[in-house]
Structure 1
Amino acid sequence: VKLLLDRGADIEAKEVDRWTPLYCAAKNGHLETVKLLLDRGADIESKAKNDWVPLHCAAFNGHLEAVRLLLDQGADIQAKINDDCSALHLAAENGHTAVVQLLIDRGAQVETKDSNSWTPLHYA
């Protein structure tokens, strides 16, 4: 990744669903790549299809350390996707208890509702 960036690769390149390299790294739990991309100025709140941001992807897939790093770097813990789900909804839905705990510890709202008035507890 470093070599590609050093050679001029577009850090904000988007594919058909608007995934950026940071989004892909967060989705796959590639912690060192997430860190490198953030250090190089990647947009932490870049929205992909359905308004997902890298934090949503990391939480959905249970990548605890990627979630922690994104939060440490200023990711919006209350960001919502197109159906008003938060990262907490997504982590709860997939049974990622450690991620749920981290999000709650960092201030995620446990009573936040999606477009159907479901809270993260409904998803769990």
Structure 2
Amino acid sequence: PLHLAAWAGHVSIVGLLCDAGADVSALAVDGVMPLHFAAQNGHEAVCKELIKRGARVNARDSKRQATALHLAAAKGHRDLIAYLLNKNADPAARNAKGRTAADLTENAAIRELL
């Protein structure tokens, strides 16, 4: 349920599930954490809630070794990228293919931010 709420951007449900003991670091079947789903879909409020509750900003998914920053950059979520960087996301982190978040965006403004 936490993964679905994060994916859909339901910050209030994410909060309720965390209050009930949901694990913010739990892996879905495909090796992705709730923070990854939220970042990929640009749900900044959900990312903030998950990080506030202990989600590790530089955690990697188990398949692609992508961080939330990689996923946000690939989808062009500039404001979320700025937030993640403010929370010490590592712009030099490389995924399984050796690519950084900057390598995954075509947006020059985002590349400059990274």
Q: TM-score, normalised by structure 2?
A: 0.89
- Report the residue type matching 2:104 in the other structure: Y
Which segments of 5 or more consecutive residues in structure 2 lack a partner in the other structure? 106-114
- Report the residue type matching 2:65 in the other structure: D
Quick one: which of 86, 101, 105 aligns to 2:67? 86
Instruction: Percent identity, please.
Output: 36
Quick one: which of 35, 55, 62 aligns to 2:35? 55
RMSD value over aligned CA atoms?
0.7
Quick one: which of 50, 57, 67 aligns to 1:77? 57
Which segments of 5 or more consecutive residues in structure 1 lack a partner in the other structure? 1-20
How far apart are the structure 2 equivalents of 1:116 and 1:53? Answer: 19
How far apart are the structure 2 equivalents of 1:101 and 1:33? Answer: 24
Task: Report Cα offsets for 1:79-101 as digits up to 9, x if no partner.
Answer: 11111111000000000011111
Q: Secondary structure at the match of 1:71?
A: helix
Question: Corresponding residue for 1:18?
Answer: none
Matched, 1:67 2:47: yes
Q: TM-score, normalised by structure 1?
A: 0.82
How far apart are the structure 1 equivalents of 2:30 and 2:66? Answer: 11
